[in-house]
Amino acid sequence: MKLGGPRAASLSNAREIGPLWSVRAANKLRLMAKEKSSPSSEGKNKTVSRRSFLGGTAVTVGSAAALAGLAACSPSSGDDGGGGGGESTGPAKLDTDKYPALGDARNPIDWLGTPPDITPEDCAETVEADVVVIGAAVAGEIAAYSAVKAGAKTVVLERNGTAHISGSGIAFSNARYMIEGGMPEIDKYELFQKIFNELQGRCDQGLLASWVWHSGSVLDQVTEDILIPAGGPMGQLQGVGAPADPEKPRSLFQNMSTHVNFDDSGGDNLEKFNNVVHDWIEANGGEIHYNTTARVLTQDADGRVTGVIAQKDDDGDYVYYKASGGVVVASGSYGGNEEMIEAFANPWLREYARNYRVYNARVTETSPITTKETMDDGSGHKMMCWVGAVMEQIDPSFQSWEDTGYWFWPFLQVDTAGRRFRNESSSWLDHTHLIAELPAGVNYYWQIRPTNDFEMPSTLFPLTADQWASGFEGQWVVHEADTIEELAEKIEVDPAVLRATVDRYNEICASGVDDDYGKLPKFLNAVEGAPYSATRAECHFYCTSSGVKNDRFGQVLDKEWNPIPGLFAAGNSVGWRLGSGYQMIAGGLCNGWAFFQGYVCGAKAANADWTFDDMPA
């Protein structure tokens, strides 16, 4: 893995850096600088208002219904039916008979609203297809690929003007290319067991088993059909993983060799991959209608989904896309929809998402967000629930990324009071709650890096900490000082508390046994000798990974868990996948499942008789 940018100069003195993390989201975060203050020496994050959470966008057909529904469920000042004389009666009764998904939420909020009153007769144009796909990121583009490959006339609707980047690496199980490239072959039963256990059993076992046994063959097919003929991206595949480590089974942070990186620079960008997939779709007869936003699904008298009504250019003409085989919804998460977060998330996650959200994160100058509407708005979830789908009822899984700092180097970590608070060799990817629940209510902690010549091993990357830091020159908030007490003043913690924390940690390092938090001896390194360094590590909420229930063929289910004919879903529109949070046994699993589900949905929508027996060998 290579990191861009020159080697960092010495990280000295306090540097208050503006928008963060260019590797992941520089362009988005530059835009965010207008609404969020740059990191300051006080370390305070600007609270996001209700309006800014919703994106401050104009109300459209879909959002107007949702906002009207939210207003309707506000406490009433009228007759409470019991002589209350104007006292609040609580939320209005939700129509769970008509819309079962309203009963799935944790809180009684009418997040769903009502579907826009648009019919095919209101549309300026009708486009007929076999398969219509909503969304052109990983799940949608692979759904379109498999449908086109099956001979179906396929149309993809993408609300933006370009291929959406949507993440970084992708997880696969034992693809031929991975094994031939030197990655170890995985025991599939062990992979199934470890993922299932890390997700606390809260995932669809059918999806998990299907992915474990068949995802490698899907990658091999895509490689043969698209990547090798395209010339470039095939040579960019890189398995990411630390060298073999006999102590790995004893470490809190564990991973198996599933992660494939499609970026030749080693960065976090699927732009090139997406572009070649989109090119293949169009070259083989598929159509991608950009700047086209799906608004509502259509059904026949028997309840079969027959198509989707979409709108051009956010507020232009309506077009009816009639789908004889099926509609695949791959429209992403609902992390940008405050009503849905309020309805489904637990209190700490609601607060974290409200204050520390970053949407539209995967953008570049050549793949910008062009829609004026809020991304990750849950519009796909709503469309499916309007036709009878059910939602995941447990607190939603979500993804939160650390924007700064040494992501996988377990230096001493302290909270905003200067106290050690966890085993540093765990991953922030699946332990975000430990940071989000810190008493100060902030989204960051401090990493205290020793200045001796001990080379802290990474828990994941085959890089040194200095090699990692060289790719982020000028982007981190870093303080240095000649004494621990002076460093404490710079990061605004009690010097006595930080001194006690460092002294206790040094005692643990000297003994070689961390009976406070259980960190392995190989990660223990005393904090001794000036200059002392503190790096601020910030975490931001990116998206939910929760949604509707579907079966192992991608067919969306109703409240009785029967398939809704003609309706399929993949990616972050689907629930029952990632438990209460992201896992790290299989790096890239969220994208991996989106890729795999997309393929299955496209194949099944194109051919109702398709089964896994038809998968390539």
In this prediction, residue 595 carries a pLDDT of 96
Residue 51 lies in a domain: no
Q: How confident is the model at residue 102, as a pLDDT?
A: 94
Residue 28's SS3 state is helix
| 404 contacts 21 by C-beta, under 8 angstroms | yes
Overall domain count for the chain: 2
Say what the pLDDT of residue 239 is: 54
Phi, psi of 454 (to 5 degrees): -65, 125
Q: What is the pLDDT of residue 90?
A: 45
The verdict on 204 and 326 lying in the same domain is: yes
| Residue 557 identity (one-letter amino acid) | L
d(CA 216, CA 319): 37
Question: Phi and psi for 21 in degrees, rounded to 5?
Answer: 65, 65
Same domain, 296 and 412: no
Of 184, 160, 592, nearest in space to 370 by CA: 160
CATH of the domain at 289: 3.50.50.60
Same domain, residue pair 417 and 474: yes
CA gap 354, 360 in Å, rounded:
15
Output the pLDDT for position 362.
66
Pick the closest to residue 447 from 483, 398, 498 (CA basis): 498
The rounded distance, in Å, linking the Cα atoms of 151 and 599 is 14
Tokens of 374: 């809020």
Contact by Cβ (8 Å): 429, 168: no
> 592 with 484, same domain?
no
What's the pLDDT tens digit per position in 365-410? 888 888 989 889 999 999 999 999 999 988 889 989 888 999 899 9
Q: Looking at the chain, how many residues does it have?
A: 617
Return the amino acid letter for 407.
Answer: W
519 and 407 part of one domain:
yes
Beta-bridged to residue 480, according to DSSP, are: 533
Q: Is 580 a member of any domain?
A: yes
In eight-state DSSP terms, residue 458 is P
Q: Work out the angle at residue 206's Cα, subtended by the Cα atoms of residues 205 and 207, and round it to the nearest 5 degrees.
A: 90
Say what the pLDDT of residue 252 is.
Answer: 87
**What pLDDT is attached to residue 166?**
67
CB atoms under 10 Å from CB of 301, counted, come to 5
Residue 243 lies in a domain: no
Domain boundary among 518, 541, 564: 541
| CA 494 from centre of chain | 36
Residues 6+ apart with CB under 8 A from 562: none
Cβ-contact 545, 572 below 8 angstroms: yes
Q: How far is CA 182 from the centre of its chain?
A: 28
By residue range, what is the domain housing residue 485? 22-34+399-541
User: Helix crossing, 589-606 with 138-149: angle to 10°?
Assistant: 30
Task: Determine, yes or no, domain membership for 128.
Answer: yes
Residue 483 domain-assigned?
yes
Are 406 and 519 found together in one domain?
yes
Which pLDDT score is estimated for 243? 58
Select from 490, 508, 541 the last residue of a domain.
541
In a domain, 364, yes or no: no
Residues 6+ apart with CB under 8 A from 286: 144, 147, 148, 154, 155, 156
Whether residue 73 lies inside any domain: the answer is no
Which of 478, 511, 541 finishes a domain? 541
Residues 562 and 500 in one domain: no
Which pLDDT score is estimated for 213? 97
CATH number at residue 489: 3.90.700.10
- Tokens 């398939």, residue located: 563
Which tokens go with 52?
């800014």
Low-confidence ranges of the chain (pLDDT < 50): 1-90, 235-236, 240
- Contact at 8 Å (CB) between 145 and 277? yes
Sheet containing 238-239: order of strands: 170-171, 259-261, 238-239
d(CA 551, CA 143): 16
In a domain, 455, yes or no: yes
Sole residue written with tokens 């990660």: 523
pLDDT tens-digit map of 340-372: 999 999 998 999 999 998 876 567 888 888 898
Q: Are residues 537 and 479 in the same domain?
A: yes
- Chain-centroid distance of CA 361 in Å reads 10
Question: Structure tokens of 219?
Answer: 């990658």
pTM, two decimal places:
0.84
